Amino acid sequence: MTNTIDRRTILRMAGASAGTAALVGATMSGQAPARAAGGAFRHGVASGDPLPDGILLWTRLTPTDAAQPGSGVGPEAMVTWQVAADPNFSTVTAQGTLSTGPARDHTVKVAVTGLAPATTWWYRFGYAGAWSATGRTMTAPPADADIDRLRLGVVSCSNWEAGYFSAYRRLADRGDLNLVVHVGDYLYEYGTGEFDAGGTVVRPVLPAHEALTLADYRIRHALYKTDPDLQALHASVPWVITWDDHEVANDQWSGGAGNHTPGTEGDYADRVAAARRAYVEWMPVRTGVDEAIYRRLRFGKLVELSMLDLRTYRSQQASGTAVDDPARTITGDAQMSWLKNGLAASTARWKLVGNPVMIARLDVGALPAWLLGPLGKLLGIPENGAALNADQWDGYNADRNELVNHLLATATRDVVFLTGDIHTSWANEVTTRATGGSAPIAAEFVVPSMTSDNINDFLGLPERNPLSTLGASLLRATNKHVRWTELDGHGYGVLEVTRQRCRMDWYHLADRTRPNSASRWAAGWSVGVGSSVLRQEAAPPA
């Protein structure tokens, strides 16, 4: 991962440079132009994890044509960065230089500090007389600030081979977002043709084979970062991201993955280390102790956002009543304590949770064991019913119970999970045995895949076909806490948070296989403060 010397150096440079505006011009004009064809900053610019006084900036330098991602080739190079309060950079507020090179795949991450809160900033990078594209970002409000509104784009499951990133384009075009939250599967590890658009490769991946090595993951990240829609959204708003399984391999757990074969694909620990190193290099994400990426960000008194990592510490997926085993975990002990304590102690109005896999129960017909009593146990039915997908929280009942029980015991309200992974759209009320028939303890809004196959794609039928509609009705009939689901649309969500309510609106694409596809409003659901009962919105937001 990013070594500590690099990070210290970056932080020192960032901290020391705020307010010193002099040397950049000299540096820029003093170097001989040596621009690589395609531009030195062809992978775009990005920002992430805004704090009241700082922001993380990202880019990737291509100093020479030979210095391709994953090549391990190319010179050490000094990159300049600037932050300004206006897009013309007439007044530069912070700037500095830092070194990058092949050891970090020529990626550049700057943790800028010393900025004013709740402010829009423009930023850019310079090398050899050329500037990158200009990015726009903003710092978070102070923790004690009264803010009226926060608007978030919410996305997941962006699969290159299954289509174009029109969802990113539509979100970038809005111009009214404070933040984009990506809850995982930012990229997929598969080789070409292994997971595409219902059997058709819309656009082939690089490398063509499944990503296994550090070079492979770097090349895959670099490919995604060439997408113009992805670049536009990164450049227009700060992102807060977490990973799900495909950033490493399908159905990942702490000691392996469904899509990893140790005999032919090498040691799993080596693969994880490679995938995560490339991720930390290529993504605008802050990491903590032991490179942990679960973390919490605050936006005034209105929102605290906890981003979860549900892959690094989890037990292997199980089935049947094994999903009730209290020895199994999806969060790991440390993250569970951090999550419980953070939610219960939060003074923010809304506790949002970036949650890679669905936490609401999803039963498939059989009644939960707790309703059937001893008969359910005899029949081998898991406590919360027969789970459709044990890769979700359904496969880890003890952890879900522990979290929900803690929310109940501490009377913690106004928790909203923002979820991806399941490729379909859901508005859920979170209930368990502990909540029984009483009020739900939290709300969950699940965004569909941006492009990855979902139900009609698997069926080979058009969207909103009778089978998909029937499936949605059956799921709702056996899961009363599922207030709405739609199984065919691809797209994104927009969450608007005010003091009174959280409202999620789902937008579905006309055609994921076409660039610049239009999107249409599919549904809106909201939850009011003090209650986790969902309410359907009759019309798109004004």
Kindly list the residues in this chain that would bind Fe ion in the complex (CB under 5 A): 157, 185, 452
Q: Which is nearer to Fe ion, 62 or 454 (CB)?
A: 454
Give me the least distance between CB of 233 and Fe ion, in Å please.
18
Instruction: Please name the amino acid found at residue 343.
Output: L
Q: Strand, helix or coil at 468?
A: helix
Residue pair 54/137 in contact by the 8 Å Cβ criterion: no
Residue pair 481/431 in contact by the 8 Å Cβ criterion: yes
Q: Which is nearer to Fe ion, 84 or 157 (CB)?
A: 157
Q: Which is nearer to Fe ion, 452 or 513 (CB)?
A: 452
Give me the least distance between CB of 157 and Fe ion, in Å please.
3
What are the C-alpha distances in Å from 139 to residues 95, 119, 208, 339, 463?
16, 5, 39, 24, 40
Give me the least distance between CB of 130 and Fe ion, in Å please.
37
What are the C-alpha distances in Å from 347 to residues 150, 264, 310, 402, 503?
17, 50, 25, 21, 20
What contacts 96, CB < 8 A, 6 or more positions away?
13, 14, 16, 17, 80, 81, 110
Give me the least distance between CB of 246 and Fe ion, in Å please.
6
Q: Which is nearer to Fe ion, 107 or 452 (CB)?
A: 452
Give me the least distance between CB of 269 and Fe ion, in Å please.
23
End-to-end CA distance of the chain: 45
Q: Which is nearer to Fe ion, 83 or 418 (CB)?
A: 418
Q: Strand, helix or coil at 25?
A: helix
Residue pair 429/485 in contact by the 8 Å Cβ criterion: no
Q: Which is nearer to Fe ion, 59 or 252 (CB)?
A: 252
What are the C-alpha distances in Å from 21 to residues 18, 54, 78, 113?
8, 18, 17, 15
Q: Which is nearer to Fe ion, 185 or 486 (CB)?
A: 185
Give me the least distance between CB of 358 and Fe ion, in Å please.
12
Give me the least distance between CB of 171 and Fe ion, in Å please.
18
- How many Å is the Cα radius of gyration of the chain? 23
Give me the least distance between CB of 301 and Fe ion, in Å please.
34
Q: Which is nearer to Fe ion, 185 or 229 (CB)?
A: 185
Q: Which is nearer to Fe ion, 397 or 451 (CB)?
A: 451
Q: Which is nearer to Fe ion, 47 or 392 (CB)?
A: 392
What contacts 393, CB < 8 A, 6 or more positions away?
330, 357, 358, 359, 399, 400
Q: Which is nearer to Fe ion, 158 or 397 (CB)?
A: 158
Q: Parallel, antiparallel, or unpaired: how do β-strands 415-419 and 425-430 relate?
A: unpaired
Length of the chain in residues, anyone? 542
Residue pair 284/58 in contact by the 8 Å Cβ criterion: yes
Give me the least distance between CB of 172 and Fe ion, in Å please.
21
Give me the least distance between CB of 453 and Fe ion, in Å please.
9
Residue pair 74/99 in contact by the 8 Å Cβ criterion: no
What stretch of H or E contains 341?
helix 333-345
Q: Which is nearer to Fe ion, 185 or 304 (CB)?
A: 185
Q: Which is nearer to Fe ion, 89 or 195 (CB)?
A: 195
Give me the least distance between CB of 65 and Fe ion, in Å please.
34
Residue pair 1/107 in contact by the 8 Å Cβ criterion: no
> Helix crossing, 214-224 with 268-282: angle to 10°?
30
Whether residue 87 is preceded by a cis peptide bond, meaning omega within 30 degrees of 0, is no
What are the C-alpha distances in Å from 4 to residues 203, 269, 290, 437?
38, 21, 11, 51
Give me the least distance between CB of 364 and Fe ion, in Å please.
20
Range list of β-strands (E), 239-319: 239-241, 252-253, 256-257, 295-299, 303-307
Give me the least distance between CB of 155 and Fe ion, in Å please.
11
Q: Which is nearer to Fe ion, 105 or 185 (CB)?
A: 185
What stretch of H or E contains 55?
strand 54-60
Two tokens, residue 538: 């009759």
Give me the least distance between CB of 513 and Fe ion, in Å please.
17
CA-wise closest residue to 440 among 349, 358, 530: 530
What stretch of H or E contains 108?
strand 107-112
Torsion, CA 212, CA 3, CA 77, CA 103, rounded to 10: -30
